Amino acid sequence: MLSAIEVPFTDLSAMTREVWPDIEHTFTEALLAARYVGGPAVAGFEENFARYCDTPHAVGVANGTDALQLTLQALGIGPGDEVVVPSNTFIATAAAVVRAGAIPAFVDVDPDTLLITPEILAAAITRRTSAVVVVHLYGNMPDMDGLVAVAERHGIALVEDAAQAHGAEWRDRRAGSFGAAGCFSFYPGKNLGAFGDAGAVVTSDAALAGRIRSLANHGRDGGANHYEHTFVGTNSRLDALQAIALDAKLARNEAWTDARISFADRYRKELAGSNIRLTEVDPLARHVYHLMVVRVADRARIQAELAKRGIQTGVHYPVPCHLQPPLRRYAGGPLPVCEQAAGEQLSLPLFPHMSRAQVDRVCEVLDEVSAR
């Protein structure tokens, strides 16, 4: 039998409780004024989020998957194009490539960071490669200098999947500001999460931002004529209520991120020297700890033992993309690091409103249930 939850995996309502007094009035006003889609709340959030990411433009969209798909489409990537994708990621990264009509070329990851490296990217490029999606998984960032250099040398587009990396940095530069575009998810559980689904693309390319905005709004050109369409687009707009919630949370995101980092540092300190393997962080990266991922040999047992003591954990992700049934046809062969990590990864509780005592409790139980 499972005991009462002592340490939850996350606590989204604590974030809502913190922002609600600030937004209650604006939220109700927007509702009663029937300003649901687009408008000043969305424009205001886009401006603030672009500034947060050190980029001139942000386009709000309906979710992170659309952010990726629309970016690839707006870059002209489609049938016949290969897009390099690390297999250790959420399926949406690869699904967006397939939905854009292109072919995901799955690659392995570095055994210490579990992220793509410049060497892995360089080795995967063929004549058909037109882009790479670099994933800042867990909130950590790979060697962006090296990755950008490889992409430039081969003339391919670099798209950042920053769905888990709001505010992450490489050499003091924000995630999303390195590639042709950075794609974000504001799914409620993300570091910056909406009250439902939402997403955004940031870029320094005004023309690209315009094409994405148009594709996300039925191909409209943004002019006065509501029924003039330049492209066959889709409906993937950010709604005003989500923008109001996101703007209030954005104002707190640095404080919430600092809290995540300090809890992660404590985990690292407490678990150092144990047989729990930590994922490594390059000293040039600011890891924003969307997830606190460790690796354990005996995951099912350890997860069950933790659950018995009221500690919730997650697995991100149990099956690498190239082994997911709908994507197996794109697999080029085994990817040993991804495959091994999928069997060992364990995400520990980590959220801004947790307590130090909760981190210590997780470490104490981990220590007890994992043989040193």
Ligand X SMILES: Cc1ncc(COP(=O)(O)O)c(C=O)c1O
Among the listed residues 147, 163, 202, 240, the single contact to ligand X using CB under 6 A: 163
Among the listed residues 64, 139, 233, 349, the single contact to ligand X using CB under 6 A: 64
Q: Which is nearer to ligand X, 91 or 122 (CB)?
A: 91
Q: Which is nearer to ligand X, 88 or 303 (CB)?
A: 88
State the minimum distance, in angstroms, from the CB of residue 1 to ligand X. 32
Q: Which is nearer to ligand X, 235 or 355 (CB)?
A: 235
Q: Per CB under 6 A, which region of 53-61, 161-169, 260-268, 297-305 contacts ligand X?
A: 161-169
- Asked whether the bond before 227 is cis by omega within 30 degrees of 0, the reply is no
Binding positions for ligand X, 133-152, rule CB under 6 A: 135
Element (H, E) at 215: helix 206-215
State the minimum distance, in angstroms, from the CB of residue 264 to ligand X. 18
String of contacts with ligand X for each residue 288-327, x by CB under 6 A: ----------------------------------------
State the minimum distance, in angstroms, from the CB of residue 101 to ligand X. 18
Residue 269 appears among annotated catalytic residues: no
Q: Which is nearer to ligand X, 216 or 276 (CB)?
A: 216
Q: Which is nearer to ligand X, 349 or 358 (CB)?
A: 349
State the minimum distance, in angstroms, from the CB of residue 176 to ligand X. 13
Residue at shortest CB range from ligand X: 64
Alpha carbon separation from 100 to 46, 145, 250, 334 (Å, rounded) = 24, 27, 30, 25
Residue pair 146/74 in contact (Cβ under 8 Å)? The answer is: no
State CA 296 to chain mean position distance.
23
State the minimum distance, in angstroms, from the CB of residue 229 to ligand X. 25
Alpha carbon separation from 163 to 79, 190, 192, 304 (Å, rounded) = 25, 8, 9, 29
Sheet with strand 285-286: strands edge to edge: 173-174, 169-170, 285-286
Q: List the structure tokens of 26.
A: 């604006």
Q: Which residues pair with 143 in a beta bridge?
A: none
State the minimum distance, in angstroms, from the CB of residue 316 to ligand X. 8
Q: Per CB under 6 A, which region of 22-30, 90-98, 240-248, 319-327 contacts ligand X?
A: 90-98
Among the listed residues 42, 50, 53, 63, the single contact to ligand X using CB under 6 A: 63
Q: Exposure of 19 by Cβ count < 10 A (0-12 exposed, 13-18 middle, 19+ buried)?
A: buried
Residue pair 176/50 in contact (Cβ under 8 Å)? The answer is: no
Closest CA to 206 of 50, 311, 98: 50
* Positions of E strands within 204-314: 277-278, 285-286, 292-295
What does the binding site for ligand X look like in residue numbers (CB under 6 A)? 63-65, 89-90, 92-93, 135, 161, 163-164, 185, 187, 197, 199
Catalytic residue IDs: 190
